[in-house]
Structure 1
Amino acid sequence: MTLAVPEQFERHRLLLLYKGDISALTLFAQQANGSVCFPQPLPALSTALDQDGGEAAGLTVHPATLVNAINKLLGFEADLLQAEAGYKQSVDTPGGIVTVYIARFKLLDPPHRLMQSLDCRMRTLPELRGRPPAEMELLRRAYETMMEG
């Protein structure tokens, strides 16, 4: 999946996830290139920062704006994804700080077919082992956030 990346994603990324309300099944969207960050992977040599550090300088983009942009970019209905409160992570990249948020699918069932149509897959956390350390840390923190909420 090659996307023309909107400007607001220069310093921001989204993790797309599904969490079953009854079963608590948690799945993360993974692009064909292996990345779990949307719409583009984090640069090589990226490092997840401590929870309270590394705030990006200047104005930040509200997560709802990013969710609206990713819905349009991926051709989703406007209300398919929602920003998940309580998750905001900073990643140090060679080009500066990138802020990562969660966008959660508002569906009863996992969106396997929908994501396959975009050459993406829905994966459990164990299936994503071997991703770069920054992505693994983001996934771990996202899973913790979803299980606490």
Structure 2
Amino acid sequence: MSDPNDFARHRLLLMYKGDISALVMFAQQANGSVCFPDALPALSSPLEEEEFSAAKVSIHPSVLVNQINRLLEFDNDLLRAEAGFCEQIDTPGGIVMVHMARFTLLDPPHRLMQNRECRMRTLPELRGRPPAEMELLRRAYVKMMEG
């Protein structure tokens, strides 16, 4: 059984990528954050890969996806954890691991997310987010376009 405190040290980016159009969008909460379920703390900054700390025991991203499914009342097959995306963010309270989950829908889930007081946004629409979030979005976009 997973612990609800799993998100104390973990976050998820929720993204959509069109298989035909390659449109990439990210879910944004009403508070503006692209991290789920909570925003990153103020003064957070992404670490470079060579700065990553070795995690002793980590939570598998699918556990986090299952928790988000319950929290947002999604069907269990709506999101899929994206293997290979795990970024470390240095925060005043310690390292936070950010993973990514991809919507498995053919079309962007605009209405679904609006019903949860969230929106689907493209990268240009997300300009002005805190620097740590912008760097996370850049890395996620690169990962999705190269992978």
Into which bin does the TM-score normalised by the smaller protein fall? over 0.9
Asked if residue 25 in structure 1 is aligned to residue 23 in structure 2, the reply is yes
Q: Which amino acid aligns with 2:32?
A: G
Q: What corresponds to 2:50 in structure 1?
A: 52
- 1:94 Cα deviation after fit: 0.3
After TM superposition, the structure 1 = structure 2 runs for residues 1-149 of structure 1, keeping only pairs within 5 Å, are 6-55=4-53, 57-149=55-147
Q: Which amino acid aligns with 1:139?
A: L
Q: Which amino acid aligns with 2:90?
A: D
Residues in 2 aligned to 1:15 and 1:56: alpha-carbon distance in whole angstroms: 21
Residues in 2 aligned to 1:17 and 1:42: alpha-carbon distance in whole angstroms: 17
- 1:127 Cα deviation after fit: 0.4
Q: Are the counterparts in 2 of residues 20 and 109 from structure 1 also a CA contact under 8 Å?
A: yes
Give a deviation string over 1:15-60, Cα, whole Å, max 9, x none: 0000000000000000000000000000000000002323264321
What value does the CA root-mean-square deviation take over the aligned residues? 1.2
Q: Are the counterparts in 2 of residues 54 and 92 from structure 1 also a CA contact under 8 Å?
A: no
Secondary structure in structure 1 of the residue aligned to 2:49: coil
Point out where structure 1 has 5 or more consecutive residues left out of the alignment. Answer: none
Moved over 4 A (4+): none
Q: Which amino acid aligns with 2:4?
A: P
Q: Are the counterparts in 2 of residues 56 and 97 from structure 1 also a CA contact under 8 Å?
A: no
Between the two proteins, the alignment pairs up a number of residues equal to 145
Secondary structure in structure 1 of the residue aligned to 2:50: coil
Higher strand fraction: Structure 1 or Structure 2? 2
TM-score normalised by the chain length of structure 1: 0.94
Residues in 1 aligned to 2:21 and 2:55: alpha-carbon distance in whole angstroms: 39
Overall identity of the aligned pairs, in %: 70
TM-score normalised by the chain length of structure 2: 0.95
